[in-house]
Structure 1
Amino acid sequence: MADKFSMQYINGGWREGSSDHVYENVNPYNGEVVARMKLANRNDIDEAYQAAKEAQKIWAQAPADEKKQVLRCAAQLMQERKDEYIGIMVKETGSSFVKAMSEFMVSVGNIMTAIEYADRMYEPQIFPGAIPGKENHVYRHPIGVIGLITPFNFPLMSAMRVIAPAIAVGDAVVLKPDSGTYMSGGPFLADIFEQAGLPKGVLNVVGYDIAEVGDYLIEHPVPRIISFTGSTAVGRHIGALCGQNLKRVSLELGGNNPFVVLEDADLDAAINAAVFGKFFNVGQVCVGTNRMFVHRKHYDEFVRRFAEHAGQLPYGDPIDPKVIIGPLINERQMQKVLRIAEDAKKDGARVVLEGQRIGNVLTPFVFADVKQDSRLAQTEIFGPIATIIPFESDEEVLEWANNTEYGLSGAVFTEDLEKGIAFARAVESGMAHVNDATANMDMNAPFGGEKSSGIGRYGGEIGLEEFTTVKWVSVQTEPRKFPF
């Protein structure tokens, strides 16, 4: 199985890539090699896209019941192999057991939610026209082939939220997982859907070195949409390429998510949500809490209790189910987070809790008295550094919450739910939560951001629209009178 999980999956076949390059996939906690993968090159990408193009034409015509059966079977197989997958994810990605289990269950939920999409493809919208005898039909069609690029932090969920609806509506997919979490984010899914009876070519998985392949997966003429989850800088580049080639694009990018504790907040609930939102997956979460704004009334107590709670989080090898703070994904990420911490000290932020590097694990930092326009407050950290900022009024904190190029998620704590909803709606983000953490997921809700946090949505009603297209067919039921 380990051999299969280090291979490319193209047109229903497991094989090594055609590149001369070999990638070593390592356990981020202890540096041990988990797998060695012979990478793909442009020829492999060509084959994957061609297979997807041909398979999609046939799969689009498959009955809804066949599509639903594949998805139901895939969900059942996922549940049967849960322990196997959790073990792979913990070892390959450094995820805590809590995080791995959460991601797994959300991904199964993505499959179950997508099942209903299959029937929706056969339910046209019909309405009368302004012209006498005119009847309008709007049909939903598969968009075609999707190029899918997923990140290291949530490799299974980021892939499944696209693959499941794609299968339901009759699309095909060429998936490029992050190389560092390749097994968790690619071959495992291909193996599941292969066993579930998905026809060959509908799902393909390729892993490659960008230095060798470049933007070929994006610029290739076959895919009609590129779905990417990752940094804003890369997302801008992909968006520009898609614009040049008139492809649709779906982008979930960076975030600088505000967590606001208003004067009338339940402080116990706020602290619990803040700790979870900040340190879930060691802060490597796009919707994680990045800036905590706390009203002066609660500020000192919040800072003290939050730091105490953070300092008590179990850390170490994530193979231990009790561990919450596991390793960062790689040394590059470790150095980036350490630089952010050092810069924050130089800029005068108060160190309430000093994080420690222990091997590849970084324990939590907590900084207080942070200026809202400082480098720390304006940086997407993606690590276990908490930033706490005091404020005096609701008007002030709303302005500060929106003082960022990003607009992914947000949270506000208050006993006044109407005020909380109004505040959440005023936050310039694609998502906002009242009396809950910034890190939230519901398969029936639209997930995505505004401003520099992306374009498009996953999940819910809009998730169906993201990977389909519509066609207007008008039917003239009686002779039309023309002006000439």
Structure 2
Amino acid sequence: MFMNTQFDKLFINGEWIDGGSENTIPNQNPFDHTEIGSIQAASKEDLDKAYQSAQEAQKSWANELPQTKRSIMEKAVSVVEENKDLIIEWLIKESGSTYMKAAGEVTVSINSMKEAATYPYRMEGKILPSQVPGKENRVYRAPLGVVGIISPWNFPFHLAVRSIATALATGNGVVVKPATHTPVTGGLLFASIFEEAGLPKGLLNVVVGKGSEIGDDIVTHPIPRLISFTGSTEVGRRIGELAGKNLKKTALELGGNNVFIVLDDADLDQAVESALFGKFYHQGQICMSINRIMVQQGMYDKFVDAFVSRVKELQVGDPSDKKTQIGPLIDQNQVDRILKDIESSKEMGAEVALGGNAEKNLLYPTVLTHVTNSMPIAKNEIFGPVAAIIPFDSEEEVVGLANEHPYGLSGAVHSSSIERATNVAHQVETGMIHINDEPVNDEPHMPFGGEKDSGLGRFNGEWALEEFTTVKWVAVQHKRRDYGPFIEKR
């Protein structure tokens, strides 16, 4: 088990301490609204100490042997594996994850950590030719220094660790600010994990605080060179502005309005099953979740009938019950927001084929038909268990509909012709898209990220190495250089 589970404190410079703010962060179970705990929030002074600690510890960590870094990362993987049941329990009670989703999240997190454990031996440079006689050009890869990480509440464990593990493995120090809905699974768990793994003090710091109190400061503080953020486009735009003013790098994975395109020659059963998972996994609270299901005329009625029939079978309720497939949304504000979009869309002509009702934070699986691209349920990122099904006539039309909105994170195209589906996929403006599958995919060695309003940069694999490191050109003049007529003895 973990050496330390003081999940009511901050973790700064290797110590578990109370926050210096007058505010407290309540931690509430989104299903039954019971209080899990309460954390004294971080102050600006706490944040400064965290960054100072990371900066100081990083100086020696950057020069640590690669086998030492890798050993600590591998030990951290072992700690997660040994404590898998505890982590799953926390994900269920803190983020409203179903057991299936929580278990899947831990598995994909372990895979990300294993990929990160390879990075210390992948910090490669280059030797390149020079245009100058007797000169050798060398390019060295180095850590950025300190990375600030702001983690989200929907997949808090995975979306935090993919940046934490990458940053540490590439020689950086880290300060994490988890979402206030998920301070433990998005931050404090990692303090315990890496503490037990033997990470040197000060390299990883976790500050739990209100965005209104330290949100801007975690970005504008002079120490961090990269801000890694996963969350809404609205907040990401603000972070990008603040980072740009201070000449900092950003890795931003933001909102999505992902399309699921069903062409008229698709395998109906396969498309329905893919749509079921891609729409309702974790109640649709995933940046990659299907937002708009677009079905070609001729297939539309058959798809709707088959899809509604399968949605009716989904089990809704307590996420701690292993049979539950649909648990609660994170809070009542999310439920109210989605119900409002449903009502507005109904007024514009959408029809409710199933659902449309809620009990507290439980929003029942909902299917809307006869949706158009201009309706709120199609224009806005749903982030909930509501499927909006849009008919289309031609491939040209569906590509136009797909690209009409300003997001471009993930997507899917179904067809019995791989070439036909791939041709459509190439025309959709998105960072990721999948043929005869659903949009919720993440593999630790593949580039993860979006286009347009869905963010900047890429996570995972060699692309994460580029984001979390920098390069330095060192030119070596082996022979005395002739500077020509500029330098002449007189």
Q: TM-score normalised to the size of structure 1?
A: 0.98
For residue 100 of structure 1, what is the amino acid of its counterpart? A
How far the C-alpha of 1:179 sits from its partner, in A, is: 1.1
- In the TM superposition, 1:211-360 aligns within 5 A as 211-360=212-361
Asked whether the equivalents of residues 117 and 464 of structure 1 are also in contact (C-alpha less than 8 Å), the reply is yes
Q: Aligned partners of 2:269 and 2:64: how far apart in 1?
A: 52
- Alignment partner of 1:75 out of 70, 74, 77: 77
Structure 2: gaps spanning 5 or more residues: none
Q: Which residue of 2 aligns with 1:30?
A: 32
1:147 corresponds to which letter in structure 2? G
> Is the Cα contact below 8 Å between 2:229 and 2:236 reproduced in 1?
yes
Contact 2:125 2:139 in 1 (8 A): yes
The farther-off stretch of 259-268 and 43-52 is 259-268
Shift of 1:130: 2.3
Q: Does the alignment pair 1:9 with 2:1?
A: no
SS at match of 1:55: helix
1:371 Cα deviation after fit: 1.1
- Structure 1 gap segments, 5+ residues each: none
Query: For residues 229-276 of structure 1, what are the alpha-carbon distances to aligned partners after superposition, in whole Å with 9 as ceiling and x for unaligned?
Result: 111111111101111111111111110000001122111111101010
Percent identity (aligned): 48
Aligned counterpart for 1:101 among listed residues 93, 100, 103: 103
| Pair 1:422–1:477, CA change in 2 (3 A) | farther
User: Equivalent of 1:85, from 77, 84, 87?
Assistant: 87
C-alpha separation in 2, matches of 1:235 and 1:482: 49
- Structure 2 residue identity aligned to 1:109: N
In structure 1, what is the Cα distance between the partners aligned to 2:369 and 2:33?
33
Number of residue equivalences? 483
Q: Secondary structure at the match of 1:458?
A: coil
Deviation at 1:327, TM superposition (A): 0.4
Moved more, 233-242 or 421-430: 421-430
Give the counterpart letter for 1:96 in structure 2.
T
CA apart distance, 1:382: 0.6
Which of 447-456 and 208-217 deviates more? 208-217
Post-superposition offset of 1:140 = 0.4
In structure 2, which of residues 45, 58, 78 is the aligned counterpart of residue 56 of structure 1? 58
d(CA) in 1 for partners of 2:165 and 2:24?
Answer: 30
Q: Deviations over 1:129-180 (max 9, x none)?
A: 2223222111100001011101100111111111111111100110000111
Give 3-state SS (helix, strand or coil) of 2:260's partner. strand
Partner of 1:157: 158
Q: Equivalent residue for 2:42?
A: 40
After TM superposition, give the deviation of residue 359 of structure 1 in Å.
3.4
User: For structure 1, which segment, 55-64 or 412-421, has the greater mean C-alpha deviation from structure 2 after superposition?
Assistant: 412-421
Give me the whole-angstrom Cα distance separating, in 2, the residues matched to 1:374 and 1:316: 29
Whole-angstrom CA distance in 2 between matches of 1:190 and 1:206: 10
Does 208-217 or 302-311 show the bigger shift?
A: 208-217
Q: Given the two structures, how large is their TM-score scaled by the length of structure 2?
A: 0.97
Q: Cα RMSD between the aligned structures?
A: 1.2
Check whether the contact 1:97–1:321 (CA below 8 A) recurs between aligned residues: yes
Deviation at 1:3, TM superposition (A): 6.2
Structure-1 separation of matches of 2:391 and 2:448:
29
Give 2:471's aligned residue.
470
**SS at structure 2 position matched to 1:465:** helix
Is the contact made by 1:6 and 1:182 (CA closer than 8 Å) also made in structure 2? Answer: no
Residues 48-80 of structure 1: CA deviation (Å, up to 9, x unaligned): 000001011111011001000000000011101
* Residue aligning to 1:166: 167
